[in-house]
Structure 1
Amino acid sequence: MLLVGLMGCVVGGCAASGGAECSVGADCASGVCQSNGRCLPLAEDGGLPPADGAPSGDAASEDAATPDAGPASDAGARDAGGAGCVPNGDGVIRREEVPLMAGLRATFRVATDVTVDMAGEVLPDGRRRWDLSGPLEGDRDVLVDLRDPAGAWYAEDFPEATYVTELSATEELLGVFQVGGSALRLLGVVSPDDGFTRTRLENDPAVDVLAFPLEVGERWTSEPSVSGLALGAITAYSEDYVSEVDAAGELVTPFGTTFEVLRVRTELERTVGLLTTTVRTFAFVSECFGTVATVTSEDDEDQVEFSRAAEVRRLAP
């Protein structure tokens, strides 16, 4: 179920905490929602505070701490897709319009083995509308954190990693991600803890999960060789990913907002020995919020717009 987590991590990477004051950067005047659910305050001149994250003068306080992502300089926050991000609805999602950094988190409503409608409703302008706001059997809320890998047992094996996060709501495995240049990349997969049954798998080359800018018709592929340890056993296999931005439209989630989204369709073929398994995933990406929902098929699904999902994640309050 690695593709489930892979795309789920994109979701986790794109929204901040569902705290009392803010849920995502777009909720804040500064454009930065800290991992404690509080907005990064603006400085007296209306800009972002100095790099230490606290306003100058007597206003400095513990509540104005630097976001977990690091220094809150104006340029740094823009690069992370946070500060000053206002959706412009131009049909193109650029790297700077998607917040991806360690320290972000969000609540997602998750259901497994449920019926879904991926075709949606065709709008008069040719775009589509998908409604994932309703209750699904077995729904539960999951807090998705993007964690700094520094100090972890696998950190030295992935020196370029930006963050790690769970691959699936039903597994403990972590995806190791790098944010760099024009892409979000999956470097590998690890278990949370070291030990005799540890997992440490590396992708060579890394998988491009999202390749920016996103626009309907854009397509990219990744063909990594995967090797390392799986539950303590030496393993090696191959994967082929084909991703395409195949539709644009509106998406409704339990968060209560209608998001303007681009839909990224990904097909994964994993070959282990003579056995090939196919998994399909849809990720719904919105400006400034990032990926607000993912839907992953059962193994070996042959319908592009499938109706039975192994896992559904959508942004929740």
Structure 2
Amino acid sequence: MSMHCGRVLIRNKVYDWHPTINNSRDKTPTVTVWLGVLAVSTFFTACEDNRTFPTIAGYTAPVAQPLQCVPNLDGVIEATELQAAIGVPVSYLVSAAEQIQPIDTKGLVTSDGKRIWDWSADRATDQIATLSAEVMGQRWFADEFPNGAFIVPFDAGATVESVYQHNADGLWLLGVASSKENPPEGKTLLIYDKPIALFQFPLEVGKNWVSSANIKNGVLRGLPYAGKDIYEVSVDASGELLLPDIAFSQALRVKTRVVVQPAVGQAQERRQVSFVFECFGEVARAVSENGAQEDLFSNATEVRRLGL
């Protein structure tokens, strides 16, 4: 019979070993190997010193996908820089319902002329609302609106949904509807006879417009409704907006005055200050009390801020 010599690698030391043949009657060979230390990892190589080892390929990083929208900070928001991210959840810090919140909509101007709005303070009563734009799908009111329309929750509780359309000219409000067809508070379905221009592209400081539309044969919380809504919108300033979890270096301030004139009852007026940023859309808003007369009000019935 034949035996082979070998080597043992133990803790980076090589020990030669050779078989010792026991010439006793059964002729069964035995091997005596002195290891000297406890082996943690052991391998044998043939005497011919075959040193071919398997190789592992180097790590290949995945190809980074380009962002669909990258802010260029030119102070102008084009239609392509403000599109609905369908199905993407967005978290907002929202003030508690029915609580008046102090808010600084004016901001301050530094010595070098830079305007800053500091909305970064933590508010103990804030709540998280996760909202997203969605396709119309099979919603109960889908047949009442044109193809291509999408919905966004009107309120932080998503009990009412706004119906929008986006094109190269603007972001248009087509109407509102209750998210459920027959909620406990009653069905709502208000359709404008023509779209309301919430944003007219491009958005930039100095731009303003007025948009109005009528509602006929509507339903508001289960009751018949007709009326007229007037939106007066102006983009009047840009600057840095500080939020609790993020800062936007060149946000546009958009002031909106909404006048609701029902066919029956008193007209109501409310103001809103929004901040919009390239590729992110609206990142913060404050809504005034009913009847507020100042564009830049200091008390809000709702404050909404992008955050965690």
TM-score of the two chains, using structure 1 as the length reference: 0.71
SS across alignment from 1:281: strand
Superposed counterparts of 1:79-118, under 5 Å: 83=68, 85-112=69-96, 113-118=100-105
Aligned to 2:255: 265
Matched, 1:198 2:184: no
Aligned to 1:140: 127
Q: Distance in 2 between matches of 1:98 and 1:291?
A: 9
Q: Distance in 1 between matches of 2:174 and 2:85?
A: 15
Aligned to 1:288: 279
**Structure 2: gaps (5+ residues):** 1-60
Q: For the Cα contact (< 8 Å) 1:127–1:247, is it kept in 2? A: no
Q: What stretches of structure 1 move > 6 A for 4+ residues in a row? A: none
Query: Which amino acid in structure 2 is aligned with residue 229 of structure 1?
Result: V
Q: Distance in 2 between matches of 1:148 and 1:125?
A: 45
Relative contact order higher in (CA < 8 Å, ≥ 6 apart): 1
SS across alignment from 1:156: helix
Query: Which amino acid in structure 1 is aligned with residue 120 of structure 2?
Result: S
Query: Which amino acid in structure 1 is aligned with residue 224 of structure 2?
Result: I
Q: CA deviation at 1:174?
A: 0.8
Aligned to 1:208: 197
Q: CA deviation at 1:248?
A: 0.7
Query: Which amino acid in structure 1 is aligned with residue 231 of structure 2?
Result: Y
Percent identity over the alignment? 33
Q: Distance in 2 between matches of 1:162 and 1:119?
A: 34
Map Cα deviations across residues 96-143 of structure 1 (whole Å, 9 max, x no partner). 112314212210000142111111111334342101111225201110
Q: CA deviation at 1:213?
A: 0.3
Matched, 1:186 2:176: no
**Structure 1: gaps (5+ residues):** 1-41, 49-81
- Match of residue 123, structure 1, among 70, 93, 110: 110
SS across alignment from 1:96: helix
1 or 2, which has the higher helix percentage? 1
Q: CA deviation at 1:304?
A: 1.7
Aligned residues: 241
TM-score of the two chains, using structure 2 as the length reference: 0.73
Q: Distance in 2 between matches of 1:204 and 1:181?
A: 21
SS across alignment from 1:102: coil
Matched, 1:153 2:143: no
Matched, 1:233 2:223: yes
- Match of residue 245, structure 1, among 221, 235, 253: 235
Query: Which amino acid in structure 2 is aligned with residue 233 of structure 1?
Result: L
Q: Distance in 1 between matches of 2:108 and 2:140?
A: 47
Larger Rg: 2
